[in-house]
Amino acid sequence: MRVGILTGGGDCPALNAVIRAAVKTSIGYGWEVVGVEEGFDGLVHCRTRPLSTASVSGILHLGGTILGTSNAGDPFKYPVEENGRKVERDISDRVVENFHKLEIDALIVIGGDGSLGIAQKFFEKGVPLVGVPKTIDNDIGGTVITFGFDTAVNTARDALDKLHTTAESHRRVLAVEVMGRHAGWIAVHSGIAGGADVILIPEIPYDIEKVCESILEREKKGKHFSIVVVAEGAFPKGGSLTHRAVKEAGSEQRLGGVAERVAAEVTRLTGKESRVVVLGHLQRGGPPTTFDRVLGTRFGSAAARLVRKGLFGRMVALMPPDVDSVPIRDAIGQMKRVPLDNDILESARDMGISFGD
């Protein structure tokens, strides 16, 4: 058996833990393992390298991915230059040909909703593969949690702990932008753990006047500063998402700037001095937490077991207390957003946190 492993989409803490576990488990079965470099782009250009136990030694604690990754190489919408401009073309047949040319018997795809969506299409084209859910946003269906989320939340919470002192010292409002394109899990968890006063998430369109009311109410109580955590996908009632740049062929639409928008409106409506902190890719980096290292290890080993059993087209998933699996098509068919009736939101509201509604 010759097994390929690739990591697609944005990088994420504990990717290396998954790779390490998948490699060591596969080699334990007597298989040969090859790493596909830079996501599906590696299959487009046949960029691979052998992976051994030595290759994955000492990577458990490292952030990022030793295989490299890309979120701009979807073979079904691949960017190519024609007549001086970039357009998207379907070159998936070429990838299937390369898969067989490389003599790979099965593929382990570690990625988020986008990468797993691509994986499902290749499975339907006859490529034997299994999936491993990866995203710091925790928005993939079928699994209770994804690896990388815990590390990202801890990074954001640590930043909020540090920002409290400067916000209080200068009596300012600090708008802290965290990741969360479609779901507000990072904002909610880090906001609660980091003592935020307002949390704005994609699931609850915000009313800026309600946000300001909450800030002014704190002012009346002698709290002359406020921390506002804003998910990048948050948007006002009746408004739209804030885009950082125009979408290019083959790439995902970039969001950003919503915290600047919120801070400017807060200053205009309250007179309070506001500042903006965008955590951005800090949330993706750094050593994974203990929880993510263990979960990543469980996922990597479970993916190899799925291959051994021939259970292709499935994704490993945490269903406490066990790691099980679900069809990839079911997982990508349901975006996991923060439920409005979840007790975590009720608890936050009980603590006086505003969601701008």
Question: Diameter of the chain by CA atoms?
Answer: 70
In angstroms, the Cα distances linking 158 to 112, 154, 164, 193, 298 are 25, 6, 10, 9, 26
Q: Hunting for tokens 């993939």 — which residue is that?
A: 140
d(CA 166, CA 30) in angstroms, rounded, equals 56
Is the torsion defined by CA of 305, 310, 313, 319 positive or negative?
negative
Cβ-based burial of 175 (10 A; exposed 0-12, middle 13-18, buried ≥19): buried
As a whole number of angstroms, the distance between CA 171 and CA 30 comes to: 62
Rounded distance between C-alpha atoms, residue 228 and residue 223, angstroms:
14
| Count helices and strands in the chain by DSSP H and E runs | 11, 13
Q: How far apart are CA 233 and CA 209, in angstroms?
A: 19
Q: Could you say which of 41, 137, 197, 292 is catalytic?
A: 137
Active site residue 137: yes
Cis before 50? omega within 30: no
Helices 149-170 and 290-309, axial angle in degrees (round to 10): 160
**Residue 245 to residues 236, 252, 256: CA-CA distances in angstroms?**
19, 10, 8
CA 141 to chain centre: 13
Q: What is the CA radius of gyration of the chain?
A: 22
**DSSP secondary structure string for all residues of 96-142:** HHHHHHTT-SEEEEEE-HHHHHHHHHHHHTT--EEEEEB-TT---TT
Of the candidates 104, 134, 113, the residue with the CA atom closest to the CA atom of residue 312: 104
Instruction: List active site positions.
Output: 137
